[in-house]
Amino acid sequence: MFPKDYIPQYLNMAITFTGDDMSSDKATVILMLYIMLVILAFVFAITMSNTISKEAGAIGTLRASGYSRGEMIRHYLVLPVAVTALGAAAGNLLGYTVFEDLFVNVYYTTYSLVTYQTLMNGEAFLLTTVSSVVLMLVINVFMLVRKMRIRPIDFLRGESTGRARKRAVRLSPKLPFLSRFGLRVFFQNLGSYVVLFVGILFGGTLAVFGMMFGPMFEDYSVLAKETMVSDYQYIVKSDRVVTADPQAEKFCLTSLDTDVKGYVKDGVSVYGIQEDSDYIKADIPAGEVLVSESMMKKFGFAPGDEVTLKEPYSTKTYTFRIAGDYPYLASLAVYMPRADYLELFDKSEDYFTGYFSNRALDDIDEEDIAATIMLQDATKIVDQLSSLIGFMDLFMYFSVIMFLLLMFLLTKQVIEKNAKSIAMTKILGFRSGEIARLYLLATSAAVLISLLLSVPLIRALLEFAFRYYLYTKMSGYIPYMISDLCFVKMVVMGLVSYFVVAAVMLFKIKRIPMGEALKAQNM
């Protein structure tokens, strides 16, 4: 005997909701992974380039002794690829053991889930492990092949760029000596400062991305409540349900799905609004629609565009011409004149599905209400994304550490490049304060300028990532908003990490014996 009433699996929210709701988590984590891979590629390239520069003399000797380019490339590939593979293997081991409960608890605090079973994930292994090893291999091969084209005689001379030495920039003799010296240091290290800027840009992007979501969700909650159409929206079970409250306003509503190429399927609320509405205060042209601001921004629509929506679990579609947007952020919605709605969906003249109201409608029986959307429901997506906030807390700490390490690596390399010259100025009688003024001031200025210039670029890069990646992979909409405090923290972290490195390097140089410095200089 068959049951009289049932819900198919694809409609059972107890089965499908958690998986569907995690789409935004997955998209955000993968975006974070892409940023990290770009940073890893950058670090790999810089590390390999500096290794070749430091060992130029030894490479030149080996090449002159008969070692081939292929042998040298294989020699320098073994260690970085092996270390990357071991690190990736360790990361998988820790992910499935030590950190498993940490991530599981994030979801258990958000969803009512049954007991889980840990399964190996092939996609995660490909994105995190295989991609890292392949990236290390490709970047190093490219860098080594390019470097090994340099002649052995150039390696023996300590030249690892293969380019002719550029003429020094001519500076006015009217400038004070220390000013000219500082400018000379700046121009001599201009290439290193460009690399430093790129590193700060990548590291800052990762740091801001990790810090932006908490303030973003708070700002979104405020905006969503401010743009709410009414304090209450009652969806009734029949158009025979009436209320005596004069401020209540009838509306029509149906749910359709988006059919926009390149984007995941999204649910859209299509409203039929009565003329001269007290709640939707907008002039909706006949035959056209207004779309919510969230829908306009997510899909990049513009007035005059057409949007096609389809009935769920059906092939029937509807095409609407967009007249403009309506300031509503809580969900994706389409607003059209009630007369157009009734004609399009073939409904009777007295048909409606609900009421807008700014106060509770106590004269409607609860059994006649299918759903009630209240002011606090405007921010339900933030509640649903609380698991993502938990992840972002973890990523925020990780991104800060990555940014500090990147700043340490790059500024350390810039300062070490000038270590011999700094030691020589020490031999010539310059005091520590003068040495800092001559060498570290130029690098300090480069770091500060790089941090400030990276702020608008990071904002643009993350906006691009949201618009062309995150919005295409997640359902619903979160407006792209970054608190200025995130950039302030990023700049402060950069400056603090730089000054720590500069102090460490200056202390190290102070301890170099003068004889050792002269010996190194003559090598």
Q: Are residues 71 and 150 in the same domain?
A: yes
Q: What dihedral angle (degrees, nearest 10) is formed by the CA atoms of 354, 356, 358, 364? A: -20
**Residue 476 near residue 331, CB atoms below 8 Å:** yes
**One-character DSSP codes across 96-155:** TTTTHHHHHHHHHTTS----------HHHHIIIIIHHHHHHHHHHHHHHHHHTTS-HHHH
Q: Same domain, yes or no, for 312 and 410?
A: no
Separation of alpha carbons 310 and 194, rounded Å:
50
Distance in angstroms (rounded) separating the CA atoms of residues 211 and 326:
30
Given the structure tokens 């001599």, which residue do they identify?
Answer: 188
CB-facing half-sphere around the CA of 11: CA atoms within 13 A: 5
Ranking 33-47, 155-169, 497-511 by mean pLDDT, the lowest is 155-169
474 and 513: one domain?
Answer: yes
352 pLDDT higher than 80: yes
End-to-end alpha carbon distance in the chain: 93
Question: Are residues 15 and 90 both part of a single domain?
Answer: yes
**Are 116 and 29 members of one domain?**
yes
| Together in a domain, 438 and 507 | yes
C-alpha to C-alpha distance for 277 and 282, rounded to whole angstroms: 8
pLDDT of residue 518: 58
The pTM score is 0.77
What is the span of the domain harbouring residue 483?
177-227+376-523
Q: Would you place residue 4 in the very low, low, confident or very high pLDDT band (cuts 50, 70, 90)?
A: very low
Residue 386 confidence (pLDDT):
55
Candidate from 142-151, 153-162, 380-389 with smallest mean pLDDT: 380-389
pLDDT for the residue numbered 509: 65
pLDDT score, position 320: 95
Res 395 pLDDT > 80: no
Banded pLDDT at 185 (limits 50, 70, 90): confident
**498, β-bridge pairs:** none
> Do 139 and 183 reside in the same domain of the chain?
no
Residues 150, 38 share a domain = yes
Going by C-alpha positions, the residue among 215, 219, 224, 220 that lies closest to residue 393 is: 215
- Residue predicted with more confidence, 91 or 453: 453
What pLDDT, on a 0 to 100 scale, did the predictor assign at position 116?
A: 74
Whole-angstrom Cα Rg for the chain: 31
Whether residue 102 is predicted with pLDDT greater than 50 in this model: the reply is yes
pLDDT of residue 25: 64
Looking at residues 381-405, what average pLDDT do you find? 66
Is 468 a member of any domain? yes
The rounded mean pLDDT for the chain is 80
Distance from the Cα of residue 291 to its chain's centroid: 27
pLDDT in tens, 436-446: 777 777 778 88
Instruction: Give strand ranges (E) for 293-437.
Output: 306-310, 317-326, 333-337, 354-357, 369-374
Eight-class DSSP state of 418:
T
The CA-CA-CA angle for residues 300, 301, 307, to 5°, reads 125
Q: Do 209 and 80 reside in the same domain of the chain? A: no
The answer to whether residue 233 is domain-embedded is no
pLDDT score, position 249: 95
CA 191 to mean position of chain CA atoms: 27
Letter string b/e over residues 15-26, b meaning 16 or more CB atoms within 10 A of that residue's CB? eeeeeebbebbe
Q: Does 499 lie in the same domain as 425?
A: yes
Q: Which residue has the higher pLDDT, 254 or 128?
A: 254
Number of structural domains (the chain) is 3
In a domain, 368, yes or no: no
The predicted-structure confidence for 74-83, as pLDDT tens digits, reads as follows 888 888 888 8
Residue bearing the bigger pLDDT, 509 or 17: 509
Strands (E), 399-443: none
Residues contacting residue 476 through CB under 8 Å, at least 6 positions apart: 24, 266, 331, 332, 381
More confident residue, 221 or 451: 451
Number of Cα atoms under 13 Å in the Cβ half of residue 93: 6
494-511 residue pLDDT tens? 888 888 877 777 776 666
- Answer yes or no: do 414 and 519 share one domain: yes
Q: Which two tokens stand for residue 454?
A: 């990276």
Residue 237: inside a domain, yes or no? no
For residue 514, what is the enclosing H or E element? helix 514-521
Which tokens hold the place of 211?
């810090």
Task: Give the confidence band of 310 by pLDDT, cuts at 50, 70, 90.
Answer: very high
**pLDDT for the residue 9:** 54
- Position 370 in a domain: no
What number is the average pLDDT over the span 24-48?
75
Q: Are residues 160 and 203 in the same domain?
A: no
Give the pLDDT confidence of 198-241 residue by residue, as tens digits.
888 888 888 888 888 778 877 877 787 788 888 899 999 888 89
Query: Where do we find the tokens 């409609």?
Result: 11
Q: Looking at the domain assignment, is residue 170 inside a domain?
A: no
